[in-house]
C-alpha cells in the first residue's frame, strides 16, 4: 500500500472516531445526567433480567447430546422498534405529546375532508380583518378569508409536507449511508466527498431560487427539492452507525455463509438500524416542519391559495397585523410550537431508548 | 500542522470548483443575461445579435464559464440587471452589516451559552439545571423567525425600547461616535433574537460534555491533589469539554451568516440576506447568483476553519 493510501485510511479512521463521538454525544445528551443517580439502579434492574433469559436458554433445550442449542427455544431479543414504543409509553411526557400529535393530525386530516380549500381561500371583501366572532370562529385575514379554515388546511399542508420531505430524505439518506458505510474504501470515500459538498451548499437560497424560477410547483416537487438537500444529515449518521455495525460477528458470519451483499444489507444490517432510523426521522420531522414554515413565512413556500402554517405567520410581517390583529397569526404560531415540541418530545424519548443505560422502561 | 492545513485546503478546492459550476448552471436556468434591462426596444435584432456575439453570450458553455470565472477572479462580478450598477457596489455595505450582525450574535451565543452550559453541567439535576434544560428544550422547538417576531412585538412595539427596522438612524452622520452607537443600538434586538435561540445547541453540548468529563480519572486525580473545586472546573473539566464546541466554531459562523435571512427580513435590516430576497423578488438574478456564491464560499471557509481549529485543540487529528 502506498504511503498516501495509508494516510488516507488513517484520516478516515479519525473521521469515524469523530462521528462516533458525535453520535455517542447525541445519544447521551439529554438524560445522561438525570440517569446518573439512578444509574446503579438501572444496572441492578438489568442484571437479573439478563440472567433470567440465559437460564431459560441453556438447559432443557440443549439436551440433545452434542451440546447444540435448540434454535427454536432461544429467547428472542426485543426488537428495536418495540423498545422505542416501550420507552415512549413509559415516558409520560412523550406519551402525552404523542397523543396530542395523533389527535391534531387526525382532527386536521378528518376535518379537511369536509372543508373545501377553494371556499376557504375565497376572498370576501366585506369581511376584511374581522376579529373572532360568531360567523368566523377565529376571525378573518386581510382578504376576508376565514382564519380557522386556513389554520386547519394550513396544518394539514404543513404536516403533509413534513411527512413527505422526511420520508423521501430519510429514505434516500438511509440507503446512501448504509451503502457507503457497508462497502467502505473507495466507494465510501467518493460518496462522502459528495456529502461534504452538499453540506456547504446554501440550500435555503437554492430552494428560494428554484421556487422563483420554476413556473409551476406543487407539494410533490416542492418536497423533492427540499429533500434533495436534507438527506445528507441522515446519510452521515447512518454511515457512521453502519461502519460500526458491519464489523460485528453476525455480518461476518453471514458473509462466510455466502450471503450476497444486497441480502446482508437489507435483511440483516437494516433491521438492526431501524431504531436509529426512526429516531432520526422523528427529529428530522420537527426540523422539516420548521424549515417549511420558515420558507412560507418569507413568501417562498406555497402560494397563498395553498396556505400552510407559515403562510398565516407571514401575515404578521405587516406591522398593523402584528400589533393589532393577533388572531390572524397567534393560533398558527402556537400550533407550530405545539407540533414541534410534541414531535421533539417523542423523538427525544426514543433517542434515550437507543441507549440501554438511559432507558426508563 | 502546516501539512494538515495544506491537505485540508486541497480538499476545499474541488468543492469550490463544483460550487461555481453549479451556480453557473443555476444562473443559465434563470431568465435574463448581461443585456437584460439595457436594451432599447428600438434597436434592430441584428444589432442585438452582434452585441451578444461581442459579449461572448453565444459561445459554448465551457468558454462562457471560463470567462465568468476569470472575470470574477479579477473582481468583476457583473452588473445588476435591476439597479444597473456593478454587483459589488450593490452588495457593498450590506456585506458589512451582515458580518456585524453575525459577529455580534456569535459573541452573545458564547457569552450567554457557555456560562449556562457550565452551570447546568456542574450542578446537574438541580432546580437551576432543570430550568436551563427546559429552556433548551423550548429553544430547540422554536423557529428563529417566530421568536424574532415575538421579540419585535414585545420589545420593539409594545415596550418601544429598541428600533424596529433599519441598521442605523438616518439622522446621524457616518464616522461620528453617535453613528457607532446607533448602529449598535439597531443590532441589539436582531442579534438577541438570533442568539437566544442559537445558543441552545452550545448549552446542550457543553452540559453533556461536562457531565461526561466529570467522571474521568484525571478529574478525580486533580481533586485528590487538592485542587480547589472551582479550579477543577475551569482548568480541568471546562477545557476538555469545550473541544467539540470550539471545533464547531466555523460551522456556527457560517450558519449564522446564512441563517440571518429570516431575522434580517423581520427587522428590515439591510444585510445580505435581505438583499438576496429583494433581488429575487425584483428578478435581479445577477445579484442573487453572486450572493449564493458568496454564501457557498463562506460555508466552505467555515468548514475549513472548523477542521483547522479541531486540529489545534485536538492534536490526535493531525498526528498520522
**Is B299 in contact with A25 (Cβ distance < 8 A)?**
no
Nearest to A202 among B125, B138, B292 (CB): B292
Tell me the shortest Cα–Cα distance from A160 to chain B, in angstroms. 18
Q: Which of A20, A33, A283, A292 should one mutate to test binding to chain B, selecting the residue with the greatest count of B CBs within 10 A?
A: A33
**Structure confidence at residue A114 (pLDDT):** 76
Tell me the shortest Cα–Cα distance from A328 to chain B, in angstroms. 14
Q: Give residue limits of the domains in chain A.
A: 2-77, 82-354
Closest alpha carbon within chain A to B258: A202
Q: Per residue of chain A (361 residues), what is the pLDDT tens digit?
A: 444 444 545 555 555 555 555 555 544 443 343 333 333 333 333 334 444 444 444 444 444 445 556 666 767 666 667 777 777 777 788 888 889 889 988 888 888 777 766 666 666 666 666 666 666 666 666 666 777 878 888 888 888 888 999 999 999 999 999 999 888 888 888 888 888 888 888 888 888 888 888 767 777 888 888 898 889 989 988 888 888 888 888 888 888 888 888 888 888 888 888 888 888 888 889 888 888 888 888 888 776 677 888 888 888 777 777 777 777 788 888 888 898 888 888 888 887 776 665 666 5
B315 touches chain A (CB under 8 A): no
**Structure confidence at residue A44 (pLDDT):** 37
Instruction: Please list every residue in chain A whose beta carbon sits closer than 8 Å to the beta carbon of residue B262.
Output: 294, 297-298
Q: Which of A12, A93, A209 should one mutate to test binding to chain B, selecting the residue with the greatest count of B CBs within 10 A?
A: A209
**Structure confidence at residue A144 (pLDDT):** 64
A341 touches chain B (CB under 8 A): yes
B118 touches chain A (CB under 8 A): no
Tell me the shortest Cα–Cα distance from A192 to chain B, in angstroms. 12
DSSP state of A44: H
Residues 9 through 38 of chain A touching chain B, CB cutoff 8 Å: 10, 14, 18, 21-22, 25, 28-30, 32-34, 36-37
The candidate with the shortest Cα–Cα distance to A241, out of A78, A27, A23, A79, is A23
B288 touches chain A (CB under 8 A): yes
**CATH code reported for the domain at A82-354:** 1.10.3720.10
**Is A340 in contact with B142 (Cβ distance < 8 A)?**
yes
Instruction: Please list every residue in chain B whose beta carbon sits closer than 8 Å to the beta carbon of residue A201.
Output: 19, 22, 296, 299
Cα-based distances in Å from A146 to A239, A338, B187: 47, 22, 37
Tell me the shortest Cα–Cα distance from B242 to chain A, in angstroms. 13
DSSP assignment string, chain B: -HHHHHHHHHHHHHHHHHHHHHHHHHHHHSS--TTTTT--TTS-HHHHHHHHHHHTTTS-HHHHHHHHHHHHHTT---B-TTT-SBHHHHHHHHHHHHHHHHHHHHHHHHHHHHHHHHHHHHTTTSHHHHHHHHHHHHHHHS-HHHHHHHHIIIIIIIS--S--S-SS-TTSPTTSHHHHHHHHHHHHHHHHHHHHHHHHHHHHHHHHHHHHHHTSHHHHHHHHHT--HHHIIIIIIHHHHSHHHHHTHHHHHHHHHHHHHHHHHHTT--SHHHHHHHHHHTT-HHHHHHHHHHHHHHHHHHHHHHHHHHHHH-GGGT--
Tally A–B CB contacts below 8 A: 135
**Structure confidence at residue B287 (pLDDT):** 82
In sign, the C-alpha dihedral spanning B188, B194, B199, B200 is positive
Which stretches of chain B score pLDDT less than 50? Answer: 320
**Structure confidence at residue A29 (pLDDT):** 43
DSSP state of A146: B
Instruction: Please list every residue in chain A whose beta carbon sits closer than 8 Å to the beta carbon of residue B14.
Output: 193
**Structure confidence at residue A175 (pLDDT):** 92
B18 touches chain A (CB under 8 A): yes
Closest alpha carbon within chain A to B317: A14
Would you state the CATH architecture of domain B95-271?
A: Orthogonal Bundle (1.10)
Tell me the shortest Cα–Cα distance from B177 to chain A, in angstroms. 31
Nearest to A336 among B143, B258, B316 (CB): B143
**Structure confidence at residue B37 (pLDDT):** 58
Task: State pTM to two decimals.
Answer: 0.76
In sign, the C-alpha dihedral spanning A201, A194, A211, A290 is negative
**Structure confidence at residue A165 (pLDDT):** 92
Amino acid at each position: 500500500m502506498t504511503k498516501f493510501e495509508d494516510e488516507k485510511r488513517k484520516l478516515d479512521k479519525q473521521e469515524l472516531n469523530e462521528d462516533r463521538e458525535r453520535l455517542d454525544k447525541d445519544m447521551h445528551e439529554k438524560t445522561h445526567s438525570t440517569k446518573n443517580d439512578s444509574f446503579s439502579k438501572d444496572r441492578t434492574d438489568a442484571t437479573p433480567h439478563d440472567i433470567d433469559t440465559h437460564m431459560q436458554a441453556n438447559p432443557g433445550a440443549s439436551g440433545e447430546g452434542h451440546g447444540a442449542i435448540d434454535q427454536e427455544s432461544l429467547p428472542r431479543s426485543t426488537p428495536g422498534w418495540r423498545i422505542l414504543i416501550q420507552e415512549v409509553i413509559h415516558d409520560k411526557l412523550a406519551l402525552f405529546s404523542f397523543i396530542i400529535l395523533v389527535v391534531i393530525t387526525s382532527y386536521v386530516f378528518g376535518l379537511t375532508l369536509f372543508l373545501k380549500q377553494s371556499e376557504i381561500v375565497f376572498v370576501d371583501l366585506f369581511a376584511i380583518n374581522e376579529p373572532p366572532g360568531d360567523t368566523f370562529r377565529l376571525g378573518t385575514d386581510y382578504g376576508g378569508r376565514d382564519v380557522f379554515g386556513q389554520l386547519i388546511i394550513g396544518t394539514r399542508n404543513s404536516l403533509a409536507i413534513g411527512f413527505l420531505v422526511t420520508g423521501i430524505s430519510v429514505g434516500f439518506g438511509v440507503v446512501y449511508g448504509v451503502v457507503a458505510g457497508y462497502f467502505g474504501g473507495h466507494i465510501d470515500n467518493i460518496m462522502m466527498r459528495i456529502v461534504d459538498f452538499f453540506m456547504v451548499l446554501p440550500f435555503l437560497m437554492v430552494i428560494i431560487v428554484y421556487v422563483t424560477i420554476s413556473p409551476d410547483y406543487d407539494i410533490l416537487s416542492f418536497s423533492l427539492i427540499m429533500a434533495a438537500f436534507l438527506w445528507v444529515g441522515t446519510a452521515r449518521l447512518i454511515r457512521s452507525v453502519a461502519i460500526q455495525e458491519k464489523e460485528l460477528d453476525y455480518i461476518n458470519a453471514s458473509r462466510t455463509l455466502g450471503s450476497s451483499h444486497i441480502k446482508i444489507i437489507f435483511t440483516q444490517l437494516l433491521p438492526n438500524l431501524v431504531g436509529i432510523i426512526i429516531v432520526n426521522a422523528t427529529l428530522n420531522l420537527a426540523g422539516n416542519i420548521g424549515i417549511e414554515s420558515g420558507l412560507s413565512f418569507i413568501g417562498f413556500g406555497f402560494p397563498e391559495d395553498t396556505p400552510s402554517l407559515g403562510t398565516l405567520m407571514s401575515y404578521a410581517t405587516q406591522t398593523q397585523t402584528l400589533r393589532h390583529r393577533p388572531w390572524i397569526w397567534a393560533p398558527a404560531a402556537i400550533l407550530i410550537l405545539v407540533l414541534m415540541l410534541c414531535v421533539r418530545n417523542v423523538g427525544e424519548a426514543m433517542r434515550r431508548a437507543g441507549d440501554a443505560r438511559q432507558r426508563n422502561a | 500542522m502546516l501539512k494538515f492545513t495544506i491537505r485540508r485546503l486541497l480538499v476545499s478546492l474541488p468543492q469550490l470548483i463544483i460550487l461555481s459550476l453549479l451556480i453557473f448552471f443555476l444562473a443559465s436556468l434563470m431568465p435574463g443575461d448581461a443585456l437584460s434591462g439595457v436594451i432599447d426596444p428600438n434597436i434592430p435584432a441584428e444589432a442585438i445579435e452582434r452585441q451578444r456575439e461581442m459579449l461572448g453570450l453565444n459561445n459554448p458553455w465551457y468558454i462562457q464559464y471560463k470567462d465568468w470565472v476569470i472575470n470574477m477572479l479579477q473582481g468583476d462580478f457583473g452588473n445588476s440587471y435591476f439597479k444597473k450598477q456593478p454587483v459589488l457596489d450593490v452588495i457593498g455595505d450590506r456585506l458589512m452589516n451582515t458580518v456585524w450582525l453575525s459577529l455580534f450574535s456569535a459573541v452573545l451565543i458564547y457569552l450567554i451559552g457557555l456560562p449556562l452550559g457550565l452551570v447546568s453541567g456542574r450542578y446537574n439535576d438541580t432546580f437551576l439545571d432543570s430550568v436551563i434544560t427546559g429552556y433548551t428544550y423550548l429553544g430547540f422547538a422554536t423557529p428563529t423567525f417566530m421568536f424574532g417576531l415575538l421579540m419585535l412585538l414585545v420589545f420593539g412595539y409594545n415596550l418601544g425600547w429598541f428600533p424596529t427596522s433599519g441598521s442605523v438612524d438616518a439622522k446621524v452622520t457616518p464616522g461620528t461616535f453617535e453613528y457607532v452607537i446607533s448602529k449598535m443600538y439597531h443590532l441589539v434586538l436582531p442579534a438577541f433574537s438570533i442568539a437566544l435561540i442559537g445558543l441552545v445547541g452550545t448549552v446542550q453540548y457543553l452540559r453533556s460534555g461536562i457531565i461526561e468529563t466529570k467522571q474521568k480519572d484525571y478529574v478525580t486525580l486533580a481533586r485528590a491533589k487538592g485542587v480547589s473545586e472551582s479550579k477543577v472546573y475551569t482548568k480541568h473539566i471546562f477545557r476538555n469539554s469545550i473541544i467539540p464546541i470550539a471545533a464547531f466554531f466555523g460551522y456556527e459562523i457560517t450558519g449564522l451568516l446564512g441563517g440571518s435571512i429570516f431575522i434580517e427580513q423581520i427587522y428590515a435590516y439591510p444585510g445580505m440576506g435581505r438583499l438576496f430576497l429583494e433581488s429575487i423578488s425584483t428578478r435581479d438574478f445577477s445579484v442573487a447568483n453572486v450572493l449564493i456564491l458568496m454564501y457557498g464560499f463562506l460555508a466552505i471557509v467555515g468548514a475549513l476553519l472548523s477542521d483547522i481549529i479541531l486540529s489545534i485543540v485536538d492534536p490526535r487529528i493531525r498526528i498520522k
